[in-house]
Amino acid sequence: MKAMILAAGLGTRLRPLTDGMPKPLLPVGGTPLIVWNLLLLRRHGFRDVVINLHYLGSMIEEALGDGSQFGLRIMYSKETTILGTGGGIKQAESYFEGKPVLVLNGDTLVELDLEELMAFHFAEKAVATLVTREDDDAVRWGLVEIGTEQRIIRITGKGLEQAGPTIPRMFAGVHILDSRLLQDVPRGTVLSIIDPYVAAIKRGERVLGYDMHGYWSDVGTIERYAQAEQDVRAGLIRLEDRLFVPGR
């Protein structure tokens, strides 16, 4: 399976830190945020990664190169205008060769067993699997309602109208999707990937939630960036793969 890291955003909530540097290159514990994700992917057997670029994208490409320094093969999907999560994934569609793809948010710091996630996705024959987590503020992040058999019923209130108990969760920004979900997405259109997921839910397809319990942080604001630095110093998340040395 190939992976994609979404890294085209403007990082406006992190200004002035992002005035001259794209958010994925901000150091967390001395290592660029995006490198944490690259090493997580390699640790779990990934070798081919697509990264979408827009804001200061040339800096990301210069820092990461072809990925060989990380034992990876990196390709880039460059967006002249930001296409959103759905539009960005659609533009990179040809890289996936019609196969499922794992997607990570470039501004998320996460500790997750990706091999277990993939095994769950294929065993359950899901068309999409969204990594979810319990959070008291799930509504603010975007409420995901999960019913029986871990099927997602609604995302931010959109989906099935059926009654019945659901479990509230938030979307952790990691997901696996079958490339066929992109078939009806128009190329070059600004779109959230949530829209194809909601459409699949309404068709009765298996869009599932996979609960995670490890470390997670959306490093999207000055306050959360500072907290992530503290968490690294406290050992709450560690950069286990030492083949990358910052500044080398």
Q: Would you state the pLDDT for residue 16?
A: 85
Query: Contacts for 62-65 with beta carbons within 8 Å, 24 or more apart?
Result: 63/25, 63/32, 64/34, 64/35, 64/38
90 membership: H or E segment, kind and range? helix 84-91
209 backbone dihedrals φ, ψ, rounded to 5°: -105, 140
Q: From CA 210, how far away is CA 4, in angstroms rounded?
A: 19
Q: Of 150, 166, 170, 160, give the one whose Cα is nearest residue 217.
A: 170
- Number of domains composing the chain: 1
Give the CATH number for residue 31: 3.90.550.10
Secondary structure of residue 48 in the 3-state scheme? strand
Q: From CA 189, how far away is CA 187, in angstroms rounded?
A: 6
pLDDT in tens, 57-78: 899 999 999 999 999 999 999 9
State how far the alpha carbon of 128 is from the alpha carbons of 21, 137, 190, 208, in Å.
33, 24, 20, 6
Q: Would you state the pLDDT for residue 241?
A: 52
User: Has residue 83 been placed in a domain?
Assistant: yes
Q: Of 130, 123, 127, 102, give the one whose Cα is nearest residue 178.
A: 127
pTM of the model: 0.91
- pLDDT category at 246 given cuts 50, 70, 90 is very low
User: Has residue 244 been placed in a domain?
Assistant: no
Task: Assess whether pLDDT exceeds 80 at residue 195.
Answer: yes
pLDDT in tens, 1-37: 999 999 998 878 888 878 988 999 999 988 999 999 9
Q: From CA 23, how far away is CA 14, in angstroms rounded?
A: 8
User: Has residue 239 been placed in a domain?
Assistant: no
Q: From CA 228, how far away is CA 222, in angstroms rounded?
A: 10
User: Has residue 150 been placed in a domain?
Assistant: yes
User: Has residue 238 been placed in a domain?
Assistant: no
User: Has residue 26 been placed in a domain?
Assistant: yes
pLDDT in tens, 141-152: 789 999 999 999
pLDDT in tens, 211-241: 999 899 988 889 989 999 999 999 888 876 5
Domain that holds residue 41: 2-233
Q: Of 26, 2, 31, 32, give the one whose Cα is nearest residue 13.
A: 26
Taking the CA atoms of 71, 73, 78 and 79 in sequence, report the sign of the dihedral they define: negative
User: Has residue 81 been placed in a domain?
Assistant: yes
User: Has residue 246 been placed in a domain?
Assistant: no
Q: Would you state the pLDDT for residue 72?
A: 96
